[in-house]
Amino acid sequence: MTSSKIDLNKILRSAKLKATKPRLDVLSIINKAEAAVSHSEIQAKLESFDRVTLYRTLNTLIEKGIIHKAHVESTEVFYAMCTTSCTEEGHKHEHIHFVCDKCEEVTCIDSEPISIKLPNHIISEVRVQATGICDKCFV
């Protein structure tokens, strides 16, 4: 039992979720990864689990504010760990999803909150997706 596994157990416990193998395995994959992980990648690594279980597991973790989707302009959905600011009540992300055109990785990048003002609009959330070349692929 590694120290990271203890953490993940705790995370599930404090969200009042049973610490089952699928959840621990999914969380472990997303937690270990540097970049956001695509659904299909998680699926591939957890072939033994039922497809439906994976969908439900991911959705549960999102609902509880543990992971979040990085909806980028692709058919694929990517998942990454939330920070402590996310709860069951809602996700509060102040970061950019960066998509590298070269390595195709999706990374969550903390940044200054982007302030947008639109006349006669109430803006509750701003999501930003940047495309380009990531630092790893940068010459």
Partner DNA sequence: GTTTTATTGCAACATTGTTGCGGTATTTGT
Partner DNA sequence: ACAAATACCGCAACAATGTTGCAATAAAAC
Residues that bind a second copy (CB under 8 A): 69, 71-73, 96, 98, 101, 109, 111, 114, 116, 118-135, 138
- Based on CB atoms, which residue is closest to DNA, 44 or 139? 44
b (16+ CB within 10 A) / e for 68-95? bbbebeeeebbbbbbeeebeeeebebeb
Distance CA 81, CA 56 (A): 17
Whether residue 41 contacts residue 22, with contact meaning beta carbons closer than 8 Å, is answered with: no
Give the nearest distance from C-beta 54 to Zn ion in angstroms: 19
**Does residue 22 belong to the site contacting DNA (CB under 7 A)?**
yes
- For the record, the structure tokens of 61 come out as 């973790």
Among 8, 23, 35, 100, binds DNA (CB under 7 A): 23
Residues forming the site for DNA (CB under 7 A): 12-13, 17-23, 39-40, 48-53, 55-57, 59-60, 75-77
